[in-house]
Amino acid sequence: MIETLLDATVLLQAAEQAGQGLSDEAAQSIAETDREALTGAAAAVGVGLAALASGYAERGIGSAAVGAMAEDSMGLGRALLMTVLPETLVIFAIVVIFLV
């Protein structure tokens, strides 16, 4: 998608340097391509940040869960639930991408 955005930008700059104006149809096509590429890039950044935050949160929760399980093995269900909760952030981010 970034490639498409760069190709459209290069095409627009080449046409301006050559002194040729683009037709309205070509300019609209480039604007639509830019919008699609930026939407895809924003979606990728959103899911990436959600996954990064989930991994960061799970790091602390996982080590605490293992420590608690070493002391008392009766808390397996609670430890597993707390470990899985941050992963739902990534799932929600992916759902939002499909809705947008």
Query: What does the pLDDT look like over 26-61, one tens digit per residue?
Result: 666 666 777 777 788 888 888 889 889 898 988 988
CA dihedral 88, 90, 94, 96 (to 10 degrees): 70
Question: CA–CA separation, 11 vs 38, rounded Å?
Answer: 17
What pTM does this model have? 0.60
Q: Cβ neighbours of residue 49 under 8 Å, at least 6 residues apart?
A: none
